[in-house]
Amino acid sequence: MKKLLMFVTMSVLLWACGGGGTTTTTTDETATKDSSAPPVKKEDKNAYSPEKADKLIKEMKACEKTVCDATLALTELGPKVGPKLEEIAANATLSKEERRKAFFVLDEIGAFEGGQKLLEAAKKGAEDEMRRRLFKTAVRTENEAVITDLLDYYISDEVLKNKDKYLHLDIASAFSGASSRPKIGSKVMAWVKKNYSTKNESYYTSLIGRSATKEDVSFLAKSLENSKNLKAKFNLAATLVELGEKKYIQVLIDGMSTGDQYSKDSAARNFAKVVEDCPADQKTKVIALIKKIKAANVLAPLGIKGRVFDEALKKLEK
């Protein structure tokens, strides 16, 4: 009798603890089988397809504004839509409004496989907003062949001897911010180091100022030491200061003190880029130099140079 009671008691305890039935086991097995089933794939509404891109481009053309539902939807399609928008942006027969929409999408996308058509259109274009955007967007593709092509063009006779004085500026400006875009900046600096020459030196230093990083400091310092061009020397000095090499600000201060009006002006404009790094014990001297340079240049008070000098003086006189 005692054995029977012990058996019943143990059975009840096992059942209470969940160990006495088969229902739980069956449920667990079912759950395991269900969890191993492949998840149902949801359709990606932003997935690229040529048909979807063509439909949105058609809607984009009907948009009254650059930023609209169609252009925003095109940006969501990603880099694959780039070549279709490149065709529009590079087409000089289309209206500027239509091309601006394409540029907006391309700017949002950034890098994509293309850029050569943009570059070729830029080379043929007149000095205007479209040419500047073509150069800039071609660079932003991060296509090495396109970037190298543009850099070679930059120092070609076609540019160096061109009567269009803004052409080389438009190209250099296309690389603005390259130092913070490693895939672009590294390509530019590799090209500069390979091709650097004291002939047309300021063309190279314009690129350096937009593309160099701390890794390039030794190259910049050596180039400054060997420089034959004051404008290039001042460009290099300002870039070195921006990269943390504060001692080179003395090159700019000395440049504002000696030489002709043109070289003093160049030194002052480069100094304005790094005015915050002016040594405290030289502020009074520098303020007097900038005021003198500004007064000697009759055009400076009326244009960009005047504003640059005024902003520098304002910071120095705080």
Q: Which residue has the tokens 């160096």?
A: 160
Here the tokens at position 203 are: 């063309």
List C-alpha distances in Å: 194 to 151, 155, 160, 168. 12, 13, 19, 20
- Dihedral sign (CA 283, 285, 288, 294): negative
User: What pLDDT is recorded for position 304?
Assistant: 60
User: What pLDDT is recorded for position 86?
Assistant: 98
H-only helix segments in the chain: 2-16, 23-35, 50-62, 69-76, 82-89, 96-109, 116-124, 129-140, 144-154, 157-160, 167-173, 182-195, 201-211, 217-226, 230-242, 249-257, 261-273, 283-296, 304-316
Burial 52-90 (b: 16+ CB within 10 A, else e): bbeebbeebeeeeeeebebbebbbbbeeebbebbbebbb
Q: Which residues of the chain have pLDDT under 70?
A: 1-45, 298-305
Q: Which among 299, 281, 300, 280 has a CA at the least distance from the CA of 290?
A: 300
User: What pLDDT is recorded for position 8?
Assistant: 40
Residues 137, 118: contact at Cβ < 8 Å?
yes
User: What pLDDT is recorded for position 299?
Assistant: 55
User: What pLDDT is recorded for position 115?
Assistant: 97
The pLDDT tens digits of the residues spanning 214-248 come to 999 999 999 999 999 999 999 999 999 999 999 99
User: What pLDDT is recorded for position 181?
Assistant: 96
User: What pLDDT is recorded for position 27?
Assistant: 46
List C-alpha distances in Å: 263 to 188, 205, 273, 287. 27, 16, 16, 17
Phi then psi dihedrals of residue 274, to 5 deg = -125, 25
List C-alpha distances in Å: 109 to 3, 221, 226. 81, 36, 41
Q: Which residue has the tokens 């990269």?
A: 243
